[in-house]
Amino acid sequence: MSFFRKRINGTYVLDKREFGSRLKKMLGFRPGNLKLYEIAFIHRSATLTLPNGKKVNNERLEYLGDAVLEAILSDYLFEKFPDASEGFMTKIRSRIVNREVLNQLAVSMGINKILVSNVSSVRPTKNLYGDALEALIGSVFLDKGFKKTKKLFIKSVFSKYLDLNQIVSTDTDYKSLVFEWVQKHKSNLIFKYNEEYDFDQKKSIFSTTLIIDKKEFGVGQGSSKKEAEQEASSQAWKSLRDNCN
């Protein structure tokens, strides 16, 4: 359990003062509806059941935060690059909401220290903290509105922990890079897929193997085929690049 939960009579309860203090330090303002933020840090693996039977975790807030984050970045990039094409802005936004980047941001903020989760340390947790960050954004949106949420993310998270110039200049679309290599060398590329249901996470997990000319170059896993393809392509590109050097 996270540091702000103390065991009393065999149950975990929220230390509201300590939690509020931690949030204020993280966000730069005092939250209004503290319950919203508490839910944002409860992973589905640690779902709470209320006395009325209702189950509570951060999945719904994550869903909302994902949409709000996309709107924030769309608005920000539209203002930041007044002459940019739709394709350019879409590519940059995709790089920012990449699961690896969101996890990096979440850890930089300290979300990993307060997230409540029962996920085993031996299980993949690559999306754990990024999902919680999206849930936090959803909480701020419901509590403070879009304008405050945008200000928080851009000034206190994005500008503090990420370098926009580096994001713009770095091409991380590994799938496109691999396809370009395959076309250049007149090779044959296929993805082999497998879908499993994770009963702990209560969602489908996709895995794929990237094969070039009947040789395995990368294996990826994710909550969507696209995410799995990117991970497999990342492994493949590193191998192709090293062999070319």
- pLDDT of 9 above 80: no
In this structure, are 90 and 209 located in the same domain?
A: no
- What number is the average pLDDT over the span 204-222? 90
Task: At 7, list the tokens.
Answer: 């065991």
In this structure, are 55 and 162 located in the same domain?
A: yes
- pLDDT of 206 above 60: yes
- pLDDT of 10 above 60: no
Looking up tokens 């997990």 gives 205
In this structure, are 178 and 164 located in the same domain?
A: no
In this structure, are 49 and 163 located in the same domain?
A: yes
In this structure, are 117 and 180 located in the same domain?
A: no
In this structure, are 142 and 204 located in the same domain?
A: no
Clarify whether 66 is annotated catalytic: yes
Task: Find the catalytic residue in 59, 62, 131, 134.
Answer: 134
Clarify whether 229 is annotated catalytic: no
Q: For residue range 160-189, what is the model confidence (pLDDT) as tens digits?
A: 999 888 888 776 678 888 998 999 999 999
Which among 168, 199, 218 is the end of a domain?
168
- pTM of the shown model: 0.68
In this structure, are 58 and 107 located in the same domain?
A: yes
What's the total number of domains in the chain?
Answer: 2
Task: Find the catalytic residue in 15, 66, 70, 173.
Answer: 66
- What number is the average pLDDT over the span 38-44? 89
Containing structural domain, residue 35? 5-168
Q: For residue range 73-131, what is the model confidence (pLDDT) as tens digits?
A: 999 999 999 998 887 888 888 888 887 889 889 999 989 888 888 876 544 456 789 99
Which among 123, 139, 168 is the end of a domain?
168
Between 99 and 2, the more confident residue is 99
